Structure 1
Amino acid sequence: MIEFTSIQQMLEETSSSGLPLWDAIRQADCQRQGISPQQSWDKMAAMLQAMEDADRSYQETDRSHSGLSGGDGGKMARYIRAGKPLCGPFLSEVMAGALRMGECNACMKRIVAAPTAGACGVLPAVLLPYARQFQAGADRLVEALYVASGFGMVIAARASISGAEGGCQAEIGSAAAMAAPALVHLQGGTPEQMANACAMAVKNLLGLVCDPVGGLVEVPCVKRNVIGAMDALSAAQMALAGIESRVPPDQVLDAMREVGQSLPHTLRETGKGGLAATPFGLRYTPKEADKR
């Protein structure tokens, strides 16, 4: 069974197989799970469908049980409709999508952990608006999800996708590092450009702490999905322009693991440091939110 433990290995396996990167990753998935290529494809297509369903299920009036989350995706949508948003229509739609998906997670709706629930907004926020903007069909998006999953597999093996283990760099950072090469694939980039996009996305968020207020995956998690999506877009565009990560991708992931291990426990999802330790964070309880 193929288990990718380095980006270099993944690129070499792809080169030797003669397959596109996405299909080499699918073949690895088939060997790992003992399923056919069509079964693997159907599972990935179901992931895409779940992302689309979650995006459509968003209701601006929904609020999380804590009262901390809800409505921001609607605010962004109204701002876009008002005309001439600061970041332009496409980037603004990406931001709105990330907010919607993060709020769907906080409101206990069905989402796709990509790679985690707290980072569920990054991939759909870049893929779904991309499909609308550039008329990309479902098959292309499924291919992009394979690319994202391959890089996610290496990140999980070489570093971490857990906020409790490696801080938010391991969640939002990993999501951005998966979304960036997926975008490069959609734009017709090379596997090497995808690897560079992954590396640059990680570097941009290296050291990001996990400090959820009240221990809930809401503040600052929802808005960090926006940052992760924008990070993915900037890293993808740099890679497509021919810009390379000076530090090799696998070494970037090794640094990510080391940084995560160096973070104090207060900054690894315990809700005891960072924003969670601010005056607001310290006094926040779900009961106080109910009063509001």
Structure 2
Amino acid sequence: MLKAVEKIVALAEEKNISFPEAVLLLDSKESGISVEEIRARMRERLADMRRSVREACANTIPCRIEEPMGAKLRAHGGGMAGEFIAAASATAMEVASYNAVMGRIVAAPTAGSCGIIPGMIFAWEFFRGEGKDTDELLTGALITAGAVGEVTAFRATLAGADGGCQAECGAAAAMGSAALVYLEGGSPAASAHAAAMTFKSVLGLACDPVGGLVECPCIKRNGILVANGILCADMALAGIESAIPLDEVIDSMGQIGRMMAPALRETSQGGLAVTPTAAEIVKRIGETGKLGG
């Protein structure tokens, strides 16, 4: 089991290899599974993720609280955020909405954060992948993201019930940010800095789902946090570094999660979940089965 991103970066720099190549070597040594087999399994997850995105974009089943948002954002165009971020956000919200209606998704790293990584990497493929072997590159991106997630799970948590939304959507955005740096040809160290800066932007984020449903604010957070991860990837690629190493940032996230009141950790007993409007939403759902009546 990978225990530190520092170990991955050090091996990559020592052998002059990419972040995912270092992950594969370490994982193979620790698990006894060949590099080829690990890579093949990740290709399968990439195929699953592609299929999930296609299904999510075509989904017409409405959520109980939230109206469809991805199509609205696509129709709005790039706006001030730009086409890359807008497309990534739209995809993220569509996949998160699909999860909310029990559609098939890839937990990345959790069901509640399932839209963030596909939103980021498939936006990269569309806008930046022309003429490249994108399947191979995106497989490496998922390996990169998976390693950051594995270290996070070991050193802290990936569960909103343990660490709040910083541990779910925050982790997904950090994982995706590291993956984008890899896709853009950045160094392994830059991938770590991108993930660290992304995590730092969401430390303390509560998990406060209205009515206990993975819809509000979860779907919009999937759409919003892709922007954090994308910007942090650009910052790292520009040479901006995190003063606190990623492993220590992850440790801090875990500490903050343990300090959070239970009401802010997926219990729907605090935060947005207990606002007057949330109470009215829950009442309407109880009476009609949906928000609209």
| TM norm. shorter chain > 0.5 | yes
1:196 to 181, 193, 196: 193
What is aligned with 1:141?
138
Whether 1:110 and 2:74 are equivalent positions in the alignment is no
Deviations 1:2-22 (A, max 9, x none): x22122122223334543220
1:89 to 69, 75, 83: 83
* Deviation, structure 1 residue 39: 2.0
Residues 276 and 184 (structure 1), Cα distance of their counterparts in 2 relative to 1, 3 Å cut: same
Deviations 1:148-174 (A, max 9, x none): 111111111111111000000000110
**Cα separation, 1, equivalents of 2:30 and 2:215:** 34
What is aligned with 1:36?
34
**Cα separation, 2, equivalents of 1:213 and 1:32:** 41
What is aligned with 2:17?
19
What is the DSSP-based 3-state SS (H/G/I as helix, E as strand, rest coil) of the residue aligned with 1:119?
A: coil
**Cα separation, 2, equivalents of 1:152 and 1:275:** 27
Deviations 1:230-257 (A, max 9, x none): 1110110110010011122222112111
**Cα separation, 2, equivalents of 1:266 and 1:186:** 38
Deviations 1:106-154 (A, max 9, x none): 1111111111000011100010011011124110010011111111111
**After superposition, where does 1:55-204 map in structure 2 within 5 Å?**
55-58=53-56, 59=58, 61-64=60-63, 67-80=64-77, 85-135=79-129, 136=132, 137-204=134-201
**Cα separation, 2, equivalents of 1:124 and 1:289:** 33
Whether 1:218 and 2:212 are equivalent positions in the alignment is no
Task: Please tell me the residue identity of whatever aligns with 1:9.
Answer: K
What is aligned with 2:256?
259
Deviations 1:33-71 (A, max 9, x none): 43322221221111111111111112353213xx11342
Deviations 1:73-97 (A, max 9, x none): 12222222xxx63322222111111
Aligned 8 A contact 1:177 1:232 in 2: yes
What is aligned with 1:47?
45
Greater shift in the superposed pair: 282-291 or 36-45: 282-291
**Cα separation, 1, equivalents of 2:179 and 2:240:** 17
Residues 33 and 104 (structure 1), Cα distance of their counterparts in 2 relative to 1, 3 Å cut: farther
What is aligned with 2:267?
270
Greater shift in the superposed pair: 32-41 or 274-283: 32-41
Task: Please tell me the residue identity of whatever aligns with 1:36.
Answer: S
Task: Please tell me the residue identity of whatever aligns with 1:202.
Answer: F
Give the aligned length. 285
Task: Please tell me the residue identity of whatever aligns with 1:124.
Answer: P
In structure 1, list runs of 5 or more residues that go unmatched: none
**Cα separation, 2, equivalents of 1:195 and 1:271:** 33
**Cα separation, 2, equivalents of 1:87 and 1:176:** 17
**Cα separation, 1, equivalents of 2:81 and 2:287:** 36
Task: Please tell me the residue identity of whatever aligns with 1:99.
Answer: M
1:281 to 273, 278, 292: 278
What is the DSSP-based 3-state SS (H/G/I as helix, E as strand, rest coil) of the residue aligned with 2:43?
A: helix
2:246 to 243, 249, 258: 249
Aligned 8 A contact 2:109 2:171 in 1: yes
Aligned 8 A contact 2:2 2:27 in 1: no
Q: TM-score w.r.t. structure 2 length?
A: 0.92
What is the DSSP-based 3-state SS (H/G/I as helix, E as strand, rest coil) of the residue aligned with 2:207?
A: coil
Identity %: 39
Deviations 1:210-239 (A, max 9, x none): 000011111100000112211110110110
Q: TM-score w.r.t. structure 1 length?
A: 0.92
